Chain A
């Protein structure tokens, strides 16, 4: 993977950091001059992934961290990796089923993965029970193509 630029950040899995995390990713992606809609999609997808870490990964414990890695890849592709070291997901297909939530009491809609899938080009989820979960997302930002970058420089 030919990484042109990278940002990595680890923070406590506290809900007040949800806003920080999605804003940070969007600030990094801004160097590609994305459209308002592309940036809104990315912001929403990142918010879902980080919220999953906070709501599910460390349930019952306030000591946990989330690591967000953002990479700028060739052809205007943004890669985001969101990883926790929490409880993991035993059944990934079930977790990704629209409207399924393991935390209905907290009024989670069960749509986090659906939003991530809809708002990015590619989503991968890897998980091991008691080891943690890693979500990666890729999204091509149309304003960030080589031609556009060449035209600006």
Chain B
């Protein structure tokens, strides 16, 4: 599932539940529709409430990364769980986006993250 938060310079996609092939298509269509409405400089995929992700999530990240490259936007990945970080790592998708941890969707607006994920 996905809930979208549109701000002047940023689109945040609050993802939740299980991100697999079954759910990815709907999530992708909703995000892309919103991106094409405003072409935000920053798109955030917030995985804070995602309980499971397989390589369908990598497809989602790779596709959004390509979309943002078209117009020079930046993709950020927020709050991936340990399981999600592992999938990101083996896929190399952690190089396609800025990854930040412990970013609270409400508090993150305009503020620096508490710390950045690094490994």
Q: A-side interface residues toward B, CB under 8 Å? A: 15-16, 18-19, 22, 37, 40-41, 43-44, 47-48, 51, 54-55, 106-109, 111-112, 114-115, 118
CB distance from A88 to the nearest CB of B (A): 20
| A-contacting residues, B9-63, CB 8 Å | 18, 20-22, 24-25, 28, 52-56, 58-60, 62-63
B interface, over-half SS: helix
Size range of the chain B interface in the assembly: 20 to 34
Which single member of A19, A48, A107, A108 contacts B22 (CB below 8 Å)?
Answer: A19
Q: A16-B22, A114-B91 are in contact. Are A51 and B62 (CB under 8 A)?
A: no
Query: Quick one: given A37-B82, A54-B21, are A107 and B54 in contact (CB under 8 Å)?
Result: no
Indicate whether A118 sits within 8 Å of B20 (C-beta atoms), given known contacts A109-B62, A111-B58.
no
* B contact residues vs A (CB 8 Å cutoff): 18, 20-22, 24-25, 28, 52-56, 58-60, 62-63, 82-83, 86-87, 90-91, 93
Return the contact of B87 from the options A15, A16, A19, A44 (Cβ within 8 A). A44
The distance from the CB of A98 to the nearest CB of chain B, in whole angstroms, is 8
Q: How far is the CA of A108 from the CA of B53 in the complex (A)?
A: 13
Chain A positions within 8 Å of B87 at CB level: 44, 115
If A15-B21, A114-B90 touch, whether A47 touches B59 (CB-CB below 8 Å) is no
- How distant is the Cα of A112 from the Cα of B59 in the complex, in angstroms? 11
28 pairs, CB–CB < 8 Å, chain A vs chain B: A15-B20, A15-B21, A16-B22, A18-B21, A19-B20, A40-B83, A44-B52, A44-B54, A44-B87, A47-B54, A51-B54, A51-B55, A51-B56, A106-B25, A107-B24, A107-B28, A107-B59, A107-B60, A107-B62, A107-B63, A108-B59, A109-B59, A111-B58, A111-B90, A111-B91, A114-B55, A115-B55, A115-B91
